[in-house]
A and B are shown apart, each in its own frame.
Chain A
Amino acid sequence: MAQITLVEAITQALAFEMQRDPKVVVFGEDVGLNGGVFRATDGLQARFGHERVLDTPLAENMIAGIAIGMAVQGLRPVAEFQFMGFIYPGLDQILSHAARYRNRTRGRLSCPIVYRAPYGGGIHAPEHHSESTEALFAHIPGLRLVVPSSPARAYGLLLAAIRDPDPVVFLEPKRIYRAVRQEVVDNGEALPLDRAFVLREGSDITLIAWGALLKETLQVAEQLSTEGIEAEVIDLATLKPLDIHTIIDSLEKTHRCVLIHEAARFCGLGAEVASQINEYAFDLLHAPVQRVTGFDTVMPYYQLEDVYLPGVPRIMTAVREVLEYANGGAA
């Protein structure tokens, strides 16, 4: 079986679903002949034709808006934005319309759309190419927000997203587009949405992250393991709706939690998860939940992006604080 990268898994999922369902159409800027700026749609136009893999004029709001018209007529549009920073012109269409059509028409029309965008920093890109503003979408009722963290999950979750009857914002952590290879069975099997995945079991502390930062999070877990501390690592995967049950189940074993994301701290998703832990699992905690996040600043140009991005040392510091709090604290 072929070992493929995350971005190749995206291509594979798109190809599988286009083959299976003639109502799937793929469009965006440069997605056709050029195969997308990250090559996520490479070869699809040659295989499925110009009628199903379409290069659009350069207008992101338009891309977001026409997807709605296609979807309410029963197609399954998959719209690509070149970078998350370029989605913003389309926010009005995504938030005001895609997310609300089903509700607005009391179920008569729905928007089974996937809005795909590479997101996150760490690839030395220019400004507006490293955004991690997923909380914008997580806040909006009616949307689903999915972030894969490995080739296999990218494949399975993207299939699920395309088949879902509602709009899904599918953010692809571009820092790990090609960082790892993994065997992926191209059998069309989707992974469940709205579910977190336990990547590593442990009994001492729960580490929660999504997307590219799971790489550093797992490194921290490995390092802790050499010291005899076993961390449970959870990949949130679907950021909205949130699978709080998997987190609570984990806290029943570990009683300690660190949340890790590269988005800015204020109103970041970590705040929501921490708040839900507080509401549902306060009695389980032996230490306050800690967040390791990006700073409340603009994502810097790439010379300073390593300053901004959480890495192993910052995660480790937070983990130690949480562990030490438990050791010497009231618990």
Chain B
Amino acid sequence: MHKPRMQLLASFDIASLQYLDESGQTTQALPDFATPDTLVSLYRQMTLARMVDDRAVKMQRTGQLGTYPSSLGQEAIGVGVGAAMAKEDVYCPNYRETGALLERGVRIEEIYAIWGGDERGQNYRHVCEDLPLSVPIATQMLHGAGVAFALKYKHEQLGEPIRAAVTSGGDGATSKGDFYEAINLAGDWKLPLVVVINNNQWAISLPRSGQTACKTLAQKAIAAGIPSLQVDGNDVIAVYQAVLEALQLAHEGGGPSMIEAVTYRLCDHTTADDASRYQPQEGVKEAWGREPLRRLRIYLESLGIWGDSQEEELQRELKEMLEEAVRVYRQTPRDKSTAIFDHLYGTLPEAFIEQYQQLQGDS
């Protein structure tokens, strides 16, 4: 049989990054940012994210909240991403990013409002220009590319300070055209965009193995000509460092990059889902052994800066904060009826005044 002779034109590598293994041991020297204060702060925020999630699920079960997508088990990604971003950067998230939203300054009661069916939860103009969370898969990545274009344009053409956009999505998002179209354009136009893939192994019931034949999700970036990296998504230090470096590249005009953060969804897809139908119990048990809070706590304890008393104090402080947020959420009256028209257009067109008037007096 004829065997054609071929030449190797290009070859690619995918690197992975980890600082803290699942037993809480460091695997290499920690980056400069990882001071005891910063690590305690990251631990605190991951703990808060877990508590906010836990309370949301409980409120949903008791009819106080609508369908909610918990991020149990993947707190290191949200918190790592949010903490690494500069305030002025713009975050374009998917829907399972409670930890990141909290880092960005979105209030707990606003997150509850969103999932409690109140659009006012997405009006966090008090803290940032971040985009609202996006329910359809991967669509927000194109918005992120557009934001990144605008930030680059406003810097180069209008003299505004350097900023970057960060967008996130799950493993399922990498099967969508929007994902590929976003990274392809970002690479082509050298946009200041960081794409974070939260690979939690499940797109509702479809496992990572059913999503793609790719060995890693990070390698999908190769097709777009942009650098990528796989990080241990349960290691908040690795996530933080990877995002920090990616943002630095973006800020310096080096263009986009992509981070695949590998973790595991330790919860149902949403409160409307029952993951026990498809998640093998053995796999869930193993994943609990790798979860992000425990390993950081072990490390903090090994430094002698954390113990039961600090943990109790933290739990007490966060619980108090959470109770206050729940109280505010519960006591917020629903929006007035006419609000469904108030923000439909900049100014209400004459054609809708009659319908608007039907709602007036109904508020």
Contact with A along B141-180 (1 / 0, CB 8 A): 0111111111101101110000001000000000001100
B131 touches A72 (CB 8 A): yes
**In the complex, which residue of chain B has the Cβ closest to the Cβ of A113?**
B146
B residues near A245, Cβ cutoff 8 Å: 350
Q: Size band of the A side of the interface?
A: 35 or more
Task: Judge whether B67 is part of the interface by a CB distance below 8 angstroms.
Answer: no
Interface class of chain B by DSSP: helix
In whole Å, how far is A109's beta carbon from the nearest beta carbon of chain B? 7
A66 to B345, Cβ gap below 8 A? Answer: no
29 A-B residue pairs with Cβ-Cβ distance under 8 Å, sorted by A, are A22-B157, A25-B153, A56-B185, A59-B185, A61-B178, A62-B181, A65-B143, A65-B145, A65-B181, A69-B131, A69-B146, A73-B154, A89-B177, A102-B344, A102-B345, A104-B122, A105-B122, A105-B132, A106-B123, A106-B339, A106-B342, A107-B123, A107-B343, A108-B122, A108-B123, A109-B131, A194-B350, A241-B351, A243-B351
> Which residue from chain B places its CB closest to the CB of A112 in the assembled complex?
B346
Is B345 a contact of A166 with CB atoms below 8 Å? yes
Q: What are the 6 closest A-B residue pairs judged by CB atoms, nearest first?
A: A69-B146, A65-B142, A73-B150, A241-B351, A66-B146, A165-B346
Question: Can you list, as one digit per residue, whether each of B114-145 has a CB less than 8 Å from chain A (1) or not (0)?
Answer: 00000110111100010110101001001111
**Contacts A69-B149, A70-B149; is A97 near B181 (CB within 8 Å)?**
no
Residue of B nearest to A99 (CB): B344
Query: For residue B150, which residue of chain A has the nearest CB?
Result: A73
Residue from B119, B146, B165, B189 within 8 A of A65 (CB atoms): B146
Residues of B within 8 A of A67 (CB): 146
Q: Which residues 219-259 in A have Cβ within 8 Å of B in the complex?
A: 240-245
B122 and chain A: residue at smallest CB distance? A105
B interface with A by C-beta (< 8 Å) = 90, 92, 119-120, 122-125, 129, 131-132, 134, 136, 139, 142-151, 153-154, 156-158, 165, 177-178, 181-182, 184-185, 188-189, 339-340, 342-347, 349-352
Which residues of the partner chain B approach A141 to less than 8 Å between Cβ atoms? 344
Q: Which residue of A lies closest to B141 (CB)?
A: A65
| A51-B157, A66-B145 known, 20 other contacts, Cβ within 8 Å | A61-B181, A64-B142, A65-B145, A66-B142, A66-B146, A66-B149, A69-B145, A70-B147, A70-B153, A75-B150, A75-B153, A93-B139, A102-B343, A102-B345, A103-B340, A105-B343, A106-B120, A106-B123, A242-B351, A244-B351
Residues in A lying within 8 Å of B, measured CB to CB: 22-23, 25, 51-52, 54, 56-57, 59, 61-62, 64-75, 77, 89, 92-93, 96-97, 101-110, 141-142, 144, 164-166, 194, 240-245
Determine if A142 and B346 form an interchain contact, defined as CB atoms under 8 angstroms apart. Answer: no
Select from chain A the residue with minimum beta-carbon distance to B347: A165
- CB A33 to nearest CB in B, in angstroms, measures 16
Q: Are B346 and A73 in contact (CB under 8 A)?
A: no
Instruction: Tell me how far the C-beta of A248 lies from the nearest C-beta in chain B, rounded to whole angstroms.
Output: 12
Expressed in whole angstroms, the Cα–Cα distance for A109 and B142 within the complex equals: 16
Q: Which residues does chain B contribute within 8 Å of A97, judged by CB atoms? A: 134, 139, 143
